[in-house]
């Protein structure tokens, strides 16, 4: 992808509340949108991904939604827990590209 | 499987020195990548490889070189280190080439002074 904007850059929520992080992309031909979680001092790890032929995907408390018309996709975390505290990165692959372009990250803090 | 293994974990270089960051994976993935991560800036792609003998530039290749002589290994070479290269470097591999899930190594924290 050419450009990925991620918002917000920081997010604080009370334990048990929901958190939503949004990313917008510029390449209308982008077809793959992953989300990575990075705990402090550790490597990024994939938590969920979605392809352009699907509008929504869920995995327990985590979901990703994709709006191709508006060119944005969002990460939804429900019933947040302290262990959800981390930096979350969105990314997109562009069209037929081997290169993932990452957003700048969102630092999520879940307050017990 | 060990996954993606990077060495060293930490390194301090003086300006103008050279070094090689090692990366090896045991998942038989064709696609391998080098990213750098600066605070608050996400991950930037330096170089990538779609298979042994094939490499290509990413978004920020200047000051770096790579080689891919085997499927398993993808070393990153820094020539004439500069303070701007102070960063955390992550190697990654994937099974699918069209941006499929990346498996990251644990990273190398490099400081150039």
SS (H, E, C) A27-57: CCCCCEEEEEEECCCCCCEEEEEEECCCCEE
Nearest to B48 among A34, A49, A99 (CB): A99
* Structure confidence at residue B39 (pLDDT): 82
Per DSSP, B73 falls in state B
Residues of chain A contacting residue B61, judged by C-beta atoms under 8 Å apart: none
Query: Is the N-terminal amide bond of A8 cis, ω within 30° of 0?
Result: yes
- A16 C-beta neighbours (distance < 10 Å), count: 11
The pair of structure tokens assigned to B19 is: 């070094």
Nearest to A43 among B48, B58, B104 (CB): B104
**Interface residue B104 vs chain A (CB under 8 A):** yes
- A103 C-beta neighbours (distance < 10 Å), count: 26
Probe site for chain A from B34, B99, B102, B103 (most A CB atoms < 10 A) = B99
Dump pLDDT digits (tens) for B5-49: 999 999 999 999 999 999 999 999 999 999 999 987 889 999 999
Q: What average pLDDT score do residues A22-44 get?
A: 93
Report the percent of chain B where pLDDT is more than 90: 87
The pair of structure tokens assigned to A108 is: 């999520």
């Amino acid at each position: 992808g050419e450009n990925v904007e991620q918002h917000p850059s920081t997010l604080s929520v009370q334990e048990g509340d929901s958190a939503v992080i949004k990313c917008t992309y510029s390449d209308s031909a982008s077809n793959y949108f992953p989300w990575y979680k990075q705990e402090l001092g550790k490597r990024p790890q994939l938590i969920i991904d979605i392809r352009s032929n699907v509008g929504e995907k869920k995995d327990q408390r985590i979901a990703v939604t994709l709006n191709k018309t508006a060119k944005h996709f969002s990460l939804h975390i429900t019933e947040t827990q302290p262990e959800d505290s981390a930096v979350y990165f969105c990314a997109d692959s562009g069209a037929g590209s081997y290169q993932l372009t990452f957003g700048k990250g969102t630092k999520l803090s879940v307050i017990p | 499987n060990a996954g993606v293994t990077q060495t060293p974990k930490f390194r301090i270089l003086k300006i103008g020195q050279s070094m090689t960051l090692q990366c090896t994976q045991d998942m038989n993935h064709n696609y391998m990548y080098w990213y750098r991560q600066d605070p608050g800036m996400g991950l930037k792609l330096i170089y990538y490889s779609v298979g042994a003998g094939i490499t290509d530039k990413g978004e920020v290749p200047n000051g770096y070189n790579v080689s891919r002589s085997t499927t398993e290994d993808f070393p990153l070479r820094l020539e004439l280190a500069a303070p701007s290269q102070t960063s955390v470097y992550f190697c990654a591999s994937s099974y699918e080439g069209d941006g499929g899930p990346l498996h990251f190594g644990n990273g190398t924290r490099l400081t150039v002074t």
